[in-house]
Copies of this chain bind each other. A is one copy, B any other.
Amino acid sequence: MRPPTRAPENRTDRRRAKTRQALIDAARTLIADGRAATASIADITATADVGFGTFYNHFDDKKSLFDAAIDQILEALGDHLETIADRTDDPAEAFATSFRHAGRLAIAHRQTAEIIDSYGFVLMESPTGLGPRAHRDLSAAVAAGRLHIDNVALATAITGGHLLALVHAWLADPTSVTEADVDASVETLLRSFGMPAAAARRLAHRTLEPLG
């Protein structure tokens, strides 16, 4: 959980920041439970264990709260993925490794998976999210001659489609999708994006360093 943008300066500020975060955490829980659309402000404040009136001290409406919750989730995931991209000069490797980590995170945490599943491509396209990163890495890999893609926007969408498919199948039956399936999926993607089979296999199964 990242700290609020402005560091709390005194006890009142700290309490205020804590309440705001409690509301955001409640929103994340409701998203994960598939209740984001139907939850009332009263449901949200009850879940957060704060007073009903408190809500409007922090957010204008339900939508602005849920937007804040999604932003926080995407920023955390984005921070993870940046540390990965920083470790390699090969954009194809950055792409493959980001996909493998994102897939692992998604099939390890039901809350993350529910959010990805319910938001779908909207999430993929968020400026703080996965889509722009995948687009950037794929473009760089083409420029570097590592991949051969005519339509990078379509390739990005297909990458998103694979991730969503893995998450969706896992939610339906958590025993049915494993980390090996995530790796097999990115191997398929790399081959369909023009990487020779042997290179794709190597890249998709390289030992993953833990997220730092």
Cβ of A168 and Cβ of B157 under 8 Å apart?
A: yes
State which size class the interface on A falls in.
20 to 34
Interface membership of chain A positions 146-171, coded 1 if the CB is closer than 8 angstroms to chain B and 0 otherwise: 00000101100111111111101100
Residues in B with CB closer than 8 Å to A162 are 158, 161-162
Chain A at the B interface: mostly helix, strand, loop or mixed?
Answer: helix
Given contacts A117-B121, A192-B188, contact A165 B157 (CB under 8 A): yes
Cβ of A153 and Cβ of B165 under 8 Å apart?
A: no
Cβ of B176 and Cβ of A158 under 8 Å apart?
A: no
Instruction: Output the least CB separation between A44 and chain B (Å).
Output: 19
Mind listing 18 A-B residue pairs with CB under 8 Å?
Answer: A37-B37, A117-B121, A120-B120, A120-B164, A121-B164, A151-B169, A151-B177, A153-B169, A153-B176, A154-B165, A158-B162, A159-B165, A160-B165, A160-B168, A161-B161, A161-B164, A162-B162, A188-B188
Q: Which residues of A contact B (CB under 8 A)?
A: 37, 117, 120-121, 151, 153-154, 157-166, 168-169, 172-173, 176-177, 181, 185, 188, 191-192
